[in-house]
Chain A
Amino acid sequence: MSESELENELRGVRPAQPSPELERRIARELEHAQKPFTAADAAARAALVEGSRRGFFEFLPSLGWALTGAAAALITIYFLPRPKPQTLPASPKFAQAAVAETFFEPAETMTELVDAEAEDLQWNPGEEPARLVRVTYLERYTWNDANTGAVMEFEVPREDIYRMPVALQ
């Protein structure tokens, strides 16, 4: 059987249909996200903005008195005698608590071999023939924060290139 005959035979079976519920679930999520901005929503928003604007202009005289009071308080505080600065005692618990708020520790490292490709032989003058082998890895790191339960995962691709002399192959 040729390759194309096998491909045609494989294509002769069709992938199974998903359940009708899948499309309904997707439609619900996407249509909720795309919900149009109706006239009722516009009216509600306009009323809110108008109320804010009216409130702002009515608020101005009060704001003026408040700022005057704040300025007077600041001036008074400036001329009050200031206490001497104190050095707080070192608190290991405080330092530990602050550090412990977000502290990720490595939990897992996985290295996955993605691909390995051997190139043609290379003939460099003065050296024995060798073949370059490119090996691609994907390193996955998982870090956990024991205090908050947060998990951080990241992936780093890596490619190593090995030069393998013919004698070793």
Chain B
Amino acid sequence: MSQHPSDEPWKICYAQLAPKLLLFARQWVASQADAEDVVQNAFIRFWRKRPDAGPEHYPLLYAAVRSTALDLLRADSRRARRETDEARQPWHDHDCWFDASLEQREEAEAIQAALERLPEEQREVLVLKIWSDFTFAQIADVLGASINTVASRYRYAIDALRRILKPAEYERI
């Protein structure tokens, strides 16, 4: 039985996860282009090692994206220190992390701005929980942390987002 090209495991995975992986990578790198480079490198490395990977292996793919992004971040930091580049690009440019219709644009930008204010360890847990639909156990596998730690970071993140996005409602609670 011949296999339709779109049935290849990596293509199925890509179709399901590409935007989510990109959002995950976007937290650490300065631009959408860098985030795509990170996803590309991690994705290729992952699929070369596990050509028949299934959904149960996807947390490892996220872990690979995270590791690749952090390596790029460290390399950029070292390069900036060596080159003393005063015109170094700021931490983030203003690509929108989300696909938003015109009506949703303002809300999407507000959510992105709020996410950028979160500490890194809370933001990555929140992104994995909300937009990748991972369980706390899966997130713990991605981050190499305990489930309790992941759960408490999520609580702090949600609480912080509520404070930032809905300050009036937060004060009433």
B118 CB to nearest chain A CB (Å): 12
Interface SS of B by simple majority: helix
Q: A6-B161, A30-B10 are in contact. Are A16 and B19 (CB under 8 A)?
A: yes
B141 CB to nearest chain A CB (Å): 16
A156–B96 Cα distance when bound, in Å, is 36
Return the chain B residue nearest A14 by Cβ. Answer: B99
B68 CB to nearest chain A CB (Å): 14
A168 CB to nearest chain B CB (Å): 23
Contacts of A9 in B (CB 8 A): 107
Answer whether residue A127 sits at the interface, using C-beta atoms and an 8 A cutoff. Answer: no
Answer whether residue B39 sits at the interface, using C-beta atoms and an 8 A cutoff. Answer: yes
Taking A16-B22, A114-B145, A117-B149 as given, write out 6 further A-B residue pairs in contact, using a Cβ cutoff of 8 Å, ordered by the A residue number: A6-B162, A12-B104, A15-B98, A16-B96, A26-B43, A33-B48
Answer whether residue A10 sits at the interface, using C-beta atoms and an 8 A cutoff. Answer: yes
Q: Contact between A26 and B99 (Cβ–Cβ < 8 Å)?
A: no
A117–B153 Cα distance when bound, in Å, is 12
B165 CB to nearest chain A CB (Å): 7
Contacts of B96 in A (CB 8 A): 16
A10–B127 Cα distance when bound, in Å, is 10
B26 CB to nearest chain A CB (Å): 8
Q: Contact between B47 and A15 (Cβ–Cβ < 8 Å)?
A: no
Q: Contact between B99 and A15 (Cβ–Cβ < 8 Å)?
A: yes
What's the tally of chain B residues with a CB closer than 8 Å to chain A? 39
Q: Contact between A13 and B100 (Cβ–Cβ < 8 Å)?
A: yes
A137 CB to nearest chain B CB (Å): 13
Q: Contact between B48 and A16 (Cβ–Cβ < 8 Å)?
A: no
Return the chain B residue nearest A138 by Cβ. Answer: B144
From A11, A12, A16, A29, B32 is in contact (CB under 8 Å) with A16
Return the chain B residue nearest A19 by Cβ. Answer: B36
User: In chain B between 134 and 160, which residues have their CB closer than 8 angstroms to a CB of chain A?
Assistant: 145, 148-149, 158
B111 CB to nearest chain A CB (Å): 6
A22–B22 Cα distance when bound, in Å, is 11
Q: Contact between A11 and B130 (Cβ–Cβ < 8 Å)?
A: yes
